[in-house]
Amino acid sequence: MTTMYEEQYVWRLPVRVYHWINAAAITVLFLTGLYIASPLMSSPPGEATWYHGMAWIRLIHFATAFIFIANFVFRLYWALFGRDNYARFAGFTPWKPAWWGQPFKDQLASYLFIAKEEPNYCGHNPVAALTHFLFVFCGSFFMIFTGLAMYGENNPGGFIDTLFGWVVLLFGSSFAMHTVHHLVAWVFPVYLVLHLYAVVRHDVVDKSSVTSSIITGYKHRVEQCPELFAD
Amino acid sequence: MSAKGESYAEILEARGISRGDFLKYCSLLSVYLGLSASMVPRVVKAMETKSRIPVIWLHGLECTCCSESFIRSSHPIAADIVLNMISLDYNDTLSAAAGHQLEAVRKQIMKDYKGKYILAVEGNAPVKDNGVYCMVNGESFLSVLKETAADAMAVIAWGSCASFGCVQNAKPNPTGATPVHKIIRNKPVVNVPGCPPIAEVMTGVIAHYITFGSLPELDRLKRPRTFYGTRIHDKCERRSYFDAGMFVERFDDEGARNGWCLYKMGCKGPTTYNACSSIKWNEGTSFPIGSGHPCFGCAAPGFWDNGPFYTRLADIGFVGTDSTADKIGAVAVGGAAAGMAAHAIGTAVKKARDSKPEPTEVEEG
């Protein structure tokens, strides 16, 4: 059997730009966040006014956080209103039992080596969509809310504190919230491992060039896409 | 007993305090309350004309450090005002009377000043098993608290015990110790946390009530904004060392001797709201960080459960161990990597097996 590779434009430019800004922002946020929690740099001798080491790291963390938030909000807009079949929320309906039906089960069975077939989706497969939702969407949401609540503490009674200060109450104290923010940040490196493994594996198994697709936007269709839903 | 209708100024005059000292005290009070200079005459007028507000001071599960702090208000007149106010009414630690005699006083005040007295509560009430873990005069403190609060004008929860629970309701909270605002829900409650709170903060809250006839502006945790509006970190004298990244690594190192930032020694200043770094303690002498010890966040809710005190990252109970967020995270990443590696091997095995028995399915390239 000779395989016909059909080029398919899947990830439009806004999605690809979002992806890489997000990847860079999360990397910077995670590393600066770890640094803020436990500053490693050995203290230089001299006057405190000569240095701004910690202040710079915090500034980078905060500035990157706002880029991350803007990017996230843009992605939400794109998911809700963008005319983009592969990047929309429209198909993602986990509150409906139907969503957990055959496509999801087949995909999970294939990942668990129960089924022999490897379904190959043009966009996200249902298991991938769920993983993205849990890690990237929920994770980001959590980090943004707790992060803004902590940022608001720099200016009590200010704009951000007024909007997000209530989040602190959910955790009891500011310190407890810092701890949870720190703990949940680890969701991203865990996700990175799963994500990188999954794309490389799909490249190898499906030969769909999923890895390069997030740069070029093109995937290669090797076989017929299964229908996610029969409308 | 108390002379009804006597104003603070009259009490002070009777005690031989000069007019000049009285005005100085009023100015200082205005500063503590964060009022503008134009408000000083209002404070003076209130102190001259308003009659004393009776205060009943109850002690529940607590250590009396709040009372100790309170009687050490830095300004002598502040202490005088406070002591006049309390020794004449009810405070089971400071009163000369004791036993049934004192309980009779409490009942009398509750009757004479129904709806007009302030209830100050030091400590909290254990609610488990009908409150038997804190008994006062044969009655559970829980019922004394409810009874006394019923006719109070407002309730002031002194200290971290009354405000948030402090050590008594740290995990596992065997007596069901419950902060005052969770028991008294139908009265205005002011939380004045700290273990103990700063004396000036305590007198300031009462002075605000006397001056304006209302409780001070409160934040989301019912704390007076004036004193709990900012973190200790934001007004800390060592803040520049934090921003510079100059940290004490050990209590005996060069940085410790030079007064660098105690962040890495577990300082909770960045997450603790109190006025320690501005008002300070013991007549403005110093405060923990000023003396080279990290803040351990005694004014923050649940601070006993956010330990240890001397490390920055809290211990998080995780499958029976004390771990930090980073340890748990690293284990999770390691677990994910191991899982993916196992899956990769599974994939390779599957591919090899799939391609063997049915050679027709092998792609021709």
Instruction: Examine residue B3 and state whether it is found in any structural domain, yes or no.
Output: no
Chain segment A35-92, per-residue pLDDT in tens: 999 898 766 778 888 888 899 999 999 999 999 999 999 999 999 988 888 888 877 8
Whether residues B127 and B12 share a domain: the answer is yes
Domain containing residue B353: 321-361
Contacts of A193 in chain B (CB under 8 A): 333, 336-337, 340
Which pair of structure tokens corresponds to residue B301?
């809710």
Task: Assign 3-class secondary structure to chain B.
Answer: CCCCCCEHHHHHHHCCCCHHHHHHHHHHHHHHCCCCHHHHHHHHHHHHHCECCCEEEEECECCCHHHHHHCCCCCHHHHHHHHHHHHCCEECCCCCCCHHHHHHHHHHHHHHCCCCEEEEEECEEECHHHHCCCEECCEEHHHHHHHHHHCEEEEEEEHHHHHCCHHHHCCCCCCCEECHHHCCCCCCEEEECCCCCCHHHHHHHHHHHHHHCCCCCECCCCCEHHHHCCEHHHHCCCHHHHHHCCECCCCCCHHHHCCCECHHHCCCHHHCECCHHHHCECCCCECHHHHCCCCCCCCCCCHHHHCCCCCCCCCEEECCEEECHHHHHHHHHHHHHHHHHHHHHHHHHHHHHHHCCCHHHCCCC
Contacts of A173 in chain B (CB under 8 A): 271, 297, 300-303, 306
Instruction: Answer whether B217's CB lies under 8 Å from B34's CB.
Output: no
Instruction: Answer whether B275's CB lies under 8 Å from B194's CB.
Output: no
Whether residues B262 and B184 share a domain: the answer is no
Q: Does A40 touch chain B (CB under 8 A)?
A: no
Which pair of structure tokens corresponds to residue B84?
């006049």
Number of neighbouring beta carbons within 10 Å of residue A188: 23
* pLDDT tens digits in sequence order for chain B, 365 residues long: 344 567 777 777 787 778 888 888 888 878 877 788 888 888 888 877 777 778 888 999 999 888 888 777 766 566 666 566 554 567 777 777 778 888 888 888 899 889 988 899 999 999 999 999 999 888 999 999 999 999 999 999 999 999 999 999 998 999 999 999 999 999 999 999 999 998 888 878 887 887 888 888 999 999 999 899 889 999 999 999 999 999 999 999 989 999 999 999 999 999 999 999 988 888 788 999 999 999 999 999 999 998 889 988 888 877 677 788 898 999 999 999 999 999 999 988 888 887 765 555 444 44
| A173–B297 C-beta distance less than 8 A | yes
Whether residues B348 and B294 share a domain: the answer is no
Instruction: Examine residue B151 and state whether it is found in any structural domain, yes or no.
Output: yes
Instruction: Answer whether A21's CB lies under 8 Å from A140's CB.
Output: no
Instruction: Answer whether B271's CB lies under 8 Å from B231's CB.
Output: yes
| A174–B329 C-beta distance less than 8 A | no
Name the stretches of chain A with pLDDT < 50: 1
Instruction: Please confirm whether the linkage preceding B288 is cis (ω < 30° from 0).
Output: no
Instruction: Examine residue B172 and state whether it is found in any structural domain, yes or no.
Output: yes
Contacts of B306 in chain A (CB under 8 A): 173, 175-176, 179
Whether residues B271 and B337 share a domain: the answer is no
Paired strand residues for B140: B135
Instruction: Examine residue B356 and state whether it is found in any structural domain, yes or no.
Output: yes
Whether residues B103 and B244 share a domain: the answer is no
Q: Provide the pLDDT for residue B365.
A: 42
Q: Give the domain CATH number at B24.
A: 3.40.50.700
Domains of chain A: 6-221 (1.20.950.20)
| B249–A43 C-beta distance less than 8 A | yes
> 């577990």: which residue's tokens?
B266
Whether residues B35 and B90 share a domain: the answer is yes
**Residue A179 is nearest to which of B272, B314, B350, comparing CB atoms?**
B314
Whether residues B163 and B255 share a domain: the answer is no
CA B97 to chain centre: 30
**How far apart are alpha carbons A58 and A32 in whole angstroms?**
7
Contacts of A52 in chain B (CB under 8 A): 243-245
Phi, psi of B224 (to 5 degrees): -60, 125
Instruction: Examine residue B184 and state whether it is found in any structural domain, yes or no.
Output: yes
**How far apart are alpha carbons B63 and B128 in whole angstroms?**
20
Whether residues B72 and B111 share a domain: the answer is yes
Q: Does A48 touch chain B (CB under 8 A)?
A: yes
| B263–A39 C-beta distance less than 8 A | yes
Whether residues B279 and B264 share a domain: the answer is yes
DSSP structure string for A32-66: HHHHHHS--SPPPSS-GGG--HHHHHHHHHHHHHH
Which pair of structure tokens corresponds to residue B232?
């200790």
Whether residues B156 and B261 share a domain: the answer is no
Whether residues B246 and B141 share a domain: the answer is no
Number of domains in chain B: 3
Which of B179, B199, B228 marks a domain boundary? B228
Whether residues B224 and B256 share a domain: the answer is no
| B306–A173 C-beta distance less than 8 A | yes
| B229–A176 C-beta distance less than 8 A | no
Instruction: Examine residue B89 and state whether it is found in any structural domain, yes or no.
Output: yes
Instruction: Examine residue B2 and state whether it is found in any structural domain, yes or no.
Output: no
